[in-house]
Amino acid sequence: MLAAILVNGLVLSGIYGMLALGFALTYGVARILNLAHTAFYMAASYFLFFLLGYTGFLPAALLAALLVLGLALLAYRFLLEPLREHEATVLIVTIAIALLFQEVLLLLFGGHFRSVPALLPGFVELLGVRVAQQALLALAFAALVLLLAWAFLKGSRIGLAIRAAAQDMEAAELVGVSLSRAGYWAVGLGALLAALAGLAVAPMATLEPHMWTAPLLVVLAAVVLGGLGSLPGALLGAVILAFAEVVVVNLVPGGAFLRTAVALSVLVLVLVLKPEGLFGTSFAEER
């Protein structure tokens, strides 16, 4: 049981980690509470499913990621950036975008459950637990992507600008960071991370046009748990919530109904004790 929790928790952490980091980047730098974030993740899985009919896995995956990146940048350029002043408007514009994705996919593919064939079929015995090889591959992929993203954010000048903007927009602008350019980079990187998470999940999960809502709640919770604007916080939040979910599903009777509920109660508890999240910078004083 313990081993199952450990292994499944790690796999789920990897997926949520990619999604949460992307969400945190978009919110931290472009100040967009992007409720369409997991819709991008869903779009990537469906693109992969569609393109696999024509090419091999690698080109299909690459193309899917690029398509999602393009869509996200277009949406940011034409819909979100001009409206950034109106917070509530941005909120419903992102909802509308997510709804549009969902409905277009419903039109094109119908409401059926679809699946992408596993890249590595078969199981291995790990600490006495039967684990799909595909899940281990996804875990390795997630770890690689997160490391690369981290290296990019830590190592490059653009990464420095993005981190500065996420920490304190005004101070970053004062030292010469172009907030508009940092915004495009952050939105692009965020969408790319969402797309990669979608590609990692696609061979393990069933695809259906409503698959974006469940992870959205967890990702929102993870980012807030870690503290909005804090990138390591987002990752830690994702790990905590992934393990909370896996523990509930494995140990509590009827846990499948409660998995999101318990994850969110963890969030409420932490916020009431520590209102700015685990690593949050205090936005309360921002005027």
Q: Binding another protein by CB under 8 A: which of 18, 44, 228, 235? A: 228
* Nearer residue to another protein within complex by CB, 130 or 274: 274
85, 111, 112, 174: which one binds another protein (CB under 8 A): 85
| Cα-trace Rg, the chain | 19
Q: Are residues 196 and 146 in contact, defined by beta-carbon separation less than 8 angstroms?
A: no
- Alpha-carbon distance of 119 to 137, in angstroms, equals 9
For the CB of residue 201, give the shortest distance to another protein in the complex, in Å: 20
For 64, 176, 233, 235, 260, the CA distances from 226, given in Å and listed in that order, are: 30, 28, 4, 7, 17
Q: Which of 54/78 has CB closer to another protein?
A: 78
Say whether residue 204 binds another protein (CB under 8 A): no
Contacts of 261 (CB under 8 A, 6+ apart): none
Residue 254 binds another protein (CB under 8 A): yes
Do 63 and 51 form a contact (C-beta atoms < 8 A)? Answer: yes
Closest approach of another protein to the CB of residue 28, in Å: 11
In the complex with another protein, the residue whose CB is nearer, 92 or 120, is 92
Is residue 127 near another protein by the rule CB under 8 A?
Answer: no
Site string for another protein, 154-173 (x = CB under 8 A): --------------------
Single out the residue of 187, 197, 220, 231 in contact with another protein (rule: CB under 8 A).
220
Given 5, 99, 119, 247, the residue binding another protein (CB under 8 A): 99
Could you give the angle at which helices 2-30 and 179-201 cross, rounded to 10 degrees?
A: 150
Three-state SS at 114: strand
Choice between 109 and 152, CB closer to another protein: 109
Should residue 62 be labelled a site residue for another protein when binding is judged by CB under 8 A?
Answer: no
182 exposure class (CB count in 10 Å sphere: 0-12, 13-18, 19+): buried
The residue (of 115 and 265) whose beta carbon lies closer to another protein is 265
- Determine the straight-line distance between the first and last CA of the chain, rounded to whole angstroms: 49
